[in-house]
Every structure is written in C-alpha cells, then in structure tokens.
C-alpha cells in the first residue's frame, strides 16, 4: 500500500503542468471528457507497464544503495525538467480528427509519454518498489492529475497558475530526490558525491538555460 501511495503521489505531482496535462485540457475542449479520460487511462496503462517492467528488471540487477542513489539524482533532474515546463503546438487541429476520438487521444498520449518524465519517474520508482503497486499507482496518479486539469480548466477557462504549480512540483521532486540520494549514498565517498553534484548542476543548466536567458532579456528591456 505504501508503494502504491508513493507512486500515485509522485506521478500525480510529476504530471502537474506537464505537456500531457495541457494536452488533456486541450482535447477535453473538443471531445467528451469521459472519452478523453478513458483513453488516457488505457494509454497510460500501456506505457507504464513498459516503464515499470524496465524499472523492476534494472532494480534486480543493481545494488539497492546504487538504485536509491541514481533514482534520487533522476528525481532532482525531473525537478529541473518541471521548472522548465512544456508547451503545446498551438497550430494543431485536434478538433477535426480523421479517426475516432478515443484512438486519437490514446495514440497521442502514448507517443507523448514515451521518454517523458512521468514515464521515467515510474521507471525509477519500480526499481525499488513492487511492480503491480507502481504500475497501478502511477497510472491512476496520471489519470487523476489530468482529470483535475480538465475540471479546473473548464471552471477557470484554462487559466491555471502554471508557475506556482511548477515550482511546487519541483520542490517535491528536489526533496524526494535529495532524501533518496542520502538513503542510498550515505556511505559513498566524496568523489562520487562530487560527480553526482556536477551531473545535477549540468542538468540544471541545460534545462533552465533558456528560461534564465529569457528572464535576463526581459529585465534588460525594463525602463531605468
């Protein structure tokens, strides 16, 4: 039950402000929310069975301390990924599908989730937790998060507090990642921790470079 709750919570948070959540909100303006959510559930179930199986296999091949340490690094990287955010192609004509809406949403989400941080998060969780609990928990976490986006979006006209949501989700990722790194790497030597911090710093730079440059450019345009 603990693994299920953890998987549900982490994927729910990972999905906040993610492009998949924005996609769910957009598609729900064109098609029935029930059809969209059912397609998301089926698609996520298919994607996460692959990531969870991969995580379970990797977890059985690596020592637990290394799995926890690497998973911690990955969650911190997902935090930077969350801060960077995602965007959708505003020119997409999703309201005029050539196929049934269910299959349109299913295929769109399946492709969108491949390599996405929610898929990678479930992979990391499955490395140290039971397969079934992570698979079902991560799937429901994503569906509930997307359902929340659809409900709030319809109430507020899509005006979601994206920046606040992203910062909050990133903080959770940073906290969980730091704790996992400490659990697994408490006995690791200084050189290994140094290499890990360099990797984290590099990932933060790569993910946040463009937003920071844009922010600096906006500051320079302000009247003095």
How many angstroms separate the CA atoms of 169 and 181, rounded?
Answer: 18
The per-residue pLDDT for 211 is 67
Highest mean pLDDT among 30-39, 121-130, 176-185, 196-205: 196-205
How many angstroms separate the CA atoms of 190 and 195, rounded?
Answer: 9
Confidence of residue 160 (pLDDT cuts 50, 70, 90): low
Give the angle 117-122-128 at the CA atoms, nearest 5°. Answer: 135
Question: What percentage of the chain reaches a pLDDT higher than 90?
Answer: 9
Question: pLDDT for 91-136, tens place per residue?
Answer: 444 455 556 788 878 887 887 777 677 777 888 888 888 888 988 9
CA dist 144 → 8, 15, 151, 186, 188 (Å): 9, 10, 10, 35, 38
Residue 27 confidence (pLDDT) above 60: yes
Question: pLDDT for 60-89, tens place per residue?
Answer: 666 768 877 887 888 788 778 777 765 555
Contacts of 24 (CB under 8 A, 6+ apart): 36, 37, 40, 109, 146, 149, 150
The per-residue pLDDT for 77 is 85
Residue 215 confidence (pLDDT) above 50: yes
The per-residue pLDDT for 101 is 80
């Amino acid at each position: 039950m603990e693994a299920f709750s953890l998987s549900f919570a982490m994927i729910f948070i990972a999905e906040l402000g993610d492009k998949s959540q924005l996609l769910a909100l957009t598609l729900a303006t064109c098609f029935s929310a029930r059809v969209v959510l059912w397609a998301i559930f089926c698609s996520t179930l298919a994607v996460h069975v692959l990531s969870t199986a991969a995580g379970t296999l990797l977890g059985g091949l690596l020592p637990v301390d290394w799995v926890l340490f690497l998973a911690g690094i990955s969650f911190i990287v997902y935090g930077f990924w969350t801060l960077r955010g995602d965007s959708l192609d505003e020119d997409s004509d999703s309201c005029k599908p050539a196929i049934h809406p269910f299959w349109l949403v299913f295929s769109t989400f399946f492709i969108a989730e491949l390599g996405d941080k929610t898929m990678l998060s479930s992979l990391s969780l499955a490395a140290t937790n039971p397969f079934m609990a992570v698979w079902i928990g991560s799937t429901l976490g994503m569906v509930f998060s997307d359902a929340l986006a659809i409900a709030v979006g319809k109430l507020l006209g899509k005006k979601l507090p994206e920046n606040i949501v992203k910062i909050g989700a990133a903080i959770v990722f940073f906290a969980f990642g730091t704790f996992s790194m400490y659990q697994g790497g408490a006995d690791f030597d200084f050189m290994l921790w140094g290499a890990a911090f360099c990797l984290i710093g590099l990932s933060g730079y790569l993910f946040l470079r463009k937003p920071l440059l844009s922010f600096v450019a906006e500051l320079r345009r302000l009247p003095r």
